[in-house]
């Protein structure tokens, strides 16, 4: 397969071997000169995995698949949803609410999720954080009086509402009351002719958040070894990343009087950091399906340090949870480390970060059992790399394209992977992977297929994601932490859990204990 690869960067030189041919990359001779080079490379096509639902397997040749067929039911449904309600912040018409309730119940039952037929509706006119908090308190009180704590609240957010409304919903539900929420945008509920695919997507996310498995992949598709394994996603999201995340929102005005954008601009102009901390997040599988995750995170105050300083403590928690669920520790641990390949980190620093985090992982293992030392596979992942792929015949690139040799800064094994079909415009941006440790050991082909298949295990969609699911979960957790750790209004702070964090930044002080470790953030 002929491809054209374009890579932009500073001072990148070298020769790399592609699959079935050679890749030659030119370079500027001066460090301050940026160069975009175009080279023709040979690529391999990986096998697309089959997705197993309750009684059938589904193909996804372009990285996307359809769950709308009546015969396609969840592989494992969540426990019956007997106590849930709709919280309406958007003054949705009653006829639309009736249709919405019926469509959600019908779709959930058709897919295998048993749901009570008549959830209550709580209309809340006050969309400030105080008003939302009062609405949740009322819902919780009523459900507990009935003897069944609320399992899920489906919240309708105003179509023209500030992004701060979403932040307030998640702060109140995730931090104050420990309630799983699913947010719907009122722009999809303008009439009672609600899009069936939108309803299905909501039900898919509900099942995942409540502990169900929408589908699974065969274990042999997920990992190339027979021994018990744990897949780990780890990321360190800096305060600057968190500030950019908030600034990308549609409307950044804080409803309590200060603008996030203004504060971010002030912090940037003064050269100081805002009140946001770095967030270290780690997610790890804990059962044989390799699709259920335990999630932990810490706040990290060390400015400029790109190591995950709390890696030992985070991994220790994940390891303890794995052993509690299985009665033994994993023989193989596969770590996908996000952020290690960014241009901001020098090549020599990457090896130092890896050495620090490897030692932290082994220290956590020794605390669990003195003689315990799993085989480690450590792969660095870069979601936003410089490389861009084009098909030489102007055709659309298929999901599963893998190319060797586009990055030549180190001698480590590495490749670029396109996990979903390219755009119709021809240009596609793959993700970059580099292997820092492989004690299993495995071949490049095995690791590439594993990484590609893991892009199909993101629970909240019916499309493959750009990067492996463990990294997606860790990144989503870190993003949610930025939402939760931004400033509370004074009238709420006394009602919420303690927001002081210790020297190691114990994040559970910001998350309700009922949600600790769960995938509440997806």
Distance, CA of 511 to CA of 506 (rounded, Å): 10
Average pLDDT of span 135-164:
90
**Domain 77-209 -> CATH class:** alpha beta
Residue-averaged pLDDT of the chain = 81
Q: Is the dihedral of CA 445, 451, 456, 459 positive or negative?
A: positive
Average pLDDT of span 117-135:
92
pLDDT at residue 4, as a whole number: 54
Where residue 507 falls among pLDDT bands split at 50, 70, 90? very low
Q: What confidence tens digit (pLDDT) does each residue in 159-172 have?
A: 876 678 888 899 89
Distance, CA of 338 to CA of 186 (rounded, Å): 34
pLDDT > 50? residue 32:
no
pLDDT > 60? residue 243:
yes
Where residue 309 falls among pLDDT bands split at 50, 70, 90? very high
pLDDT at residue 1, as a whole number: 55
Distance, CA of 406 to CA of 6 (rounded, Å): 9
pLDDT at residue 394, as a whole number: 60
pLDDT > 70? residue 24:
no
pLDDT at residue 305, as a whole number: 86
pLDDT > 70? residue 359:
yes
pLDDT at residue 108, as a whole number: 96
pLDDT at residue 441, as a whole number: 85
Q: Determine the length of the chain.
A: 522
pLDDT > 90? residue 505:
no
Token pair of 413 as six digits: 């094994």
Average pLDDT of span 161-186:
89
Q: Which residue has the higher pLDDT, 383 or 261?
A: 383
pLDDT at residue 158, as a whole number: 92
pLDDT at residue 41, as a whole number: 74
Where residue 319 falls among pLDDT bands split at 50, 70, 90? very high
Q: Helices 239-247 and 260-270, interaxial angle, to 10°?
A: 140
Q: Which residue has the higher pLDDT, 111 or 301?
A: 111
| Residue 289 near residue 216 (C-beta atoms within 8 A) | yes
Task: Delimit the domains of the chain by residue range.
Answer: 2-40, 77-209, 219-487
DSSP 438-482: ESS---HHHHHHHHHHHTT--TT-SB--SS-HHHHHHHHHHHHHH
Distance, CA of 218 to CA of 207 (rounded, Å): 20
Q: What confidence tens digit (pLDDT) does each residue in 76-86 have?
A: 999 999 999 99
Between 10-19, 201-210, 490-499, 512-521, the lowest mean confidence (pLDDT) is in: 10-19
Distance, CA of 406 to CA of 388 (rounded, Å): 10
pLDDT > 60? residue 235:
yes
- Most confident by average pLDDT, 293-297, 478-482, 493-497: 293-297
pLDDT > 90? residue 132:
yes
Average pLDDT of span 430-450:
93
pTM: 0.85
Between 178-187, 223-232, 253-262, 431-440, the lowest mean confidence (pLDDT) is in: 253-262
pLDDT at residue 277, as a whole number: 80
Which three-class secondary structure state does DSSP give residue 87?
strand
Q: What confidence tens digit (pLDDT) does each residue in 386-422 have?
A: 677 766 666 678 888 898 877 656 788 999 998 887 7
Between 87-96, 326-335, 373-382, 509-518, the lowest mean confidence (pLDDT) is in: 509-518
Q: Which residue has the higher pLDDT, 349 or 263?
A: 349
What are the φ/ψ torsions at residue 439 (nearest 5 degrees)?
A: -95, 5
pLDDT > 60? residue 15:
no
pLDDT > 90? residue 506:
no
**Domain 219-487 -> CATH class:** alpha beta
Where residue 493 falls among pLDDT bands split at 50, 70, 90? very low
pLDDT at residue 70, as a whole number: 83
């Amino acid at each position: 397969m002929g491809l054209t690869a374009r890579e932009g960067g500073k001072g990148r030189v070298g020769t790399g071997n592609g699959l079935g041919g050679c890749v030659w990359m030119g370079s500027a001779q001066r460090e301050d000169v940026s160069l975009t080079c175009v080279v023709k490379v040979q690529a391999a096509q990986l096998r697309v995995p089959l997705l197993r639902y309750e009684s059938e397997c589904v193909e996804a040749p372009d990285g996307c698949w359809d769950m709308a067929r009546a015969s396609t039911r969840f592989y494992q449904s969540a426990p019956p949803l007997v106590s849930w309600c709709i919280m309406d912040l958007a003054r949705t018409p009653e006829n639309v609410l009736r249709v919405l309730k019926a469509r959600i119940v019908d779709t959930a039952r058709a897919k295998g999720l048993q749901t009570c037929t008549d959830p209550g509706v709580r209309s809340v006119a006050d969309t400030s954080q105080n008003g939302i908090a009062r609405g949740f308190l009322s819902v919780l009180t009523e459900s507990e009086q009935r003897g069944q704590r609320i399992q899920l609240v489906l919240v309708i957010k105003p179509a023209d509402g500030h992004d701060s409304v979403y932040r307030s919903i998640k702060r109140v539900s995730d931090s104050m009351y420990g309630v799983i929420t699913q947010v719907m945008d009122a722009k999809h509920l303008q009439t009672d002719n609600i899009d069936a695919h939108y309803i299905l997507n909501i039900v898919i996310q509900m099942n995942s958040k409540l502990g169900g498995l929408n589908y699974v992949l065969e274990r042999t598709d997920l990992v190339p070894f027979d021994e018990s394994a744990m897949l780990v996603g780890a990321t360190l999201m800096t305060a600057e990343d968190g500030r950019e995340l908030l600034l990308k929102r549609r409307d950044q005005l804080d409803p309590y009087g200060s603008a996030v954008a203004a504060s971010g601009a002030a912090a940037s102009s003064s050269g100081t950091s805002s009140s946001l901390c770095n967030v270290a997040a780690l997610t790890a599988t804990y059962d044989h399906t390799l699709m259920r995750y335990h999630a932990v995170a810490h706040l990290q105050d060390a400015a400029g340090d790109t190591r995950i300083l709390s890696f030992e403590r985070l991994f220790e928690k994940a390891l303890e949870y794995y052993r509690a669920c299985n009665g033994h520790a994993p023989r193989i641990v596969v770590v996908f480390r996000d952020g290690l390949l960014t241009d901001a980190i020098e090549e020599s620093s990457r090896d130092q970060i890896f050495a620090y985090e490897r030692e932290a992982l082994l220290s956590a293992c020794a605390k669990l059992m003195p003689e315990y030392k799993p085989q480690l596979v450590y792969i660095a992942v870069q979601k936003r790399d410089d490389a861009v792929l084009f098909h030489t015949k102007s055709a659309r690139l298929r999901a599963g394209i893998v190319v060797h040799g586009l990055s030549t800064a180190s001698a480590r094994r590495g490749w670029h992977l396109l996990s979903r079909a390219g755009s119709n415009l021809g240009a596609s941006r793959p993700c970059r992977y580099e292997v820092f440790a492989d004690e299993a050991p495995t071949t490049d082909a095995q690791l590439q297929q594993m990484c590609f298949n893991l892009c199909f295990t993101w629970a909240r969609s019916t499309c493959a994601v750009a990067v492996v699911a463990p990294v997606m979960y860790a990144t989503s957790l870190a993003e949610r932490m930025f939402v939760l750790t931004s400033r509370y209004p004074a009238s709420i702070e006394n009602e919420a859990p303690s927001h002081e964090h210790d020297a190691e930044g114990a994040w559970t002080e910001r998350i309700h204990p009922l949600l600790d470790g769960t995938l509440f953030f997806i």
